Amino acid sequence: MTADDLLLLAQALRARAPALPAAAGIDVVAHTGSTNSDLLEWRDGQPRALFALEQTAGRGRRGREWAARPGDSLTFSLSWRFALRADRLSGLSLAVGVALAEALSRLGVGGLALKWPNDLMRDAGHGAGKLGGVLIELSSSAAHTDAVIGVGLNLAPPPAGRYTHVPVALFDTTPPREDWLRVAATLLDALATALTRFETQGFAAFADRWNALNLHAGLPVEVQGDLHTLSGTCLGVDHDGALRLDCGDRIERVLAGDVSLRAVQAS
């Protein structure tokens, strides 16, 4: 793809994402290591979206690699400056998940659910598999917090391999460029809308919507951390994004961090 082709894609994304602030930049590159890493080095205070047709060093939460062949995934990052301290951004990754799931639903994608804290899941008739994920990296000062929000979405089935969750995709094969553009613009516009709302209303504006998409609602789960494991029934999330577990004799709240949630078989 030529430089002119990439520029035309960026212009088309701009035209189809009216919620993005006028001062925001949009770039599309043929390949890069990591769109998150690239935007972490670009901090001018204005929103900026970076899409990569191929990402060679993509990563997810806890440093997991994001594997995909060129054209088979949608990988992009959006930088956004919040006039808030980092501790006021609790639940941001969950709000992003809500925005992505609802946007895909508007495109006619069914079987969507969210797995706390940042996985987008889909059941296409064979059980829920991982469709995509979110990785947010923050840099804060006394006056503001810069967030780089990375999104990875399987457009076509990824290469065979060992995965924590069975991967699923939007399409059976690599989609044509128009389908890439349609999905990319829809998600970018929805994300910009959600971030604008999050800044003024926080995660409380998204909590009920997240709970409506909760993959593990009412199910027995384990939350595994570095030091201990909690078992209980998943009650959903609080207004601040904390996961609520009914552990029988008490209700536990778990904040997002280096924890891993999985469903367990009821005995």
CATH number of the domain encompassing residue 231: 2.30.30.100
Token readout for 111 is 């079987």
Q: Which domain holds residue 16?
A: 3-211
Based on the fold, state whether residues 51 and 68 are members of the same structural domain. Answer: yes
Does position 258 have pLDDT exceeding 70, yes or no?
Answer: no
Based on the fold, state whether residues 234 and 159 are members of the same structural domain. Answer: no
Based on the fold, state whether residues 30 and 106 are members of the same structural domain. Answer: yes
The per-residue pLDDT for 148 is 98
Based on the fold, state whether residues 132 and 203 are members of the same structural domain. Answer: yes
Instruction: Give 51's strand partners.
Output: 28, 76
Mean pLDDT in residue range 17-38? 95
The per-residue pLDDT for 215 is 95
Based on the fold, state whether residues 79 and 187 are members of the same structural domain. Answer: yes
Mean pLDDT in residue range 54-62? 70
Based on the fold, state whether residues 34 and 89 are members of the same structural domain. Answer: yes
The per-residue pLDDT for 127 is 82
Based on the fold, state whether residues 220 and 118 are members of the same structural domain. Answer: no
Q: Which candidate, 132, 135, 128, places its Cα nearest to that of 263?
A: 128
Based on the fold, state whether residues 68 and 18 are members of the same structural domain. Answer: yes
How far is Cα 217 from Cα 235, in angstroms, rounded to an integer?
Answer: 6
pLDDT tens digits for range 98-152:
999 999 999 999 999 999 999 999 997 778 899 999 999 999 988 899 999 999 9
CB 82 within 8 A of CB 196: no
> What are the start-end ranges of the E strands in 195-239?
220-224, 229-237
What is the domain count for the chain?
A: 2
The per-residue pLDDT for 165 is 73
- DSSP assignment string, 209-223: HHHHTBTTTTSEEEE
Based on the fold, state whether residues 154 and 249 are members of the same structural domain. Answer: no
Mean pLDDT in residue range 248-252? 95
pLDDT tens digits for range 134-149:
999 999 988 899 999 9
The per-residue pLDDT for 58 is 65
Based on the fold, state whether residues 138 and 203 are members of the same structural domain. Answer: yes
* Least confident piece of the model among 33-42, 70-79, 171-180, 248-257: 248-257
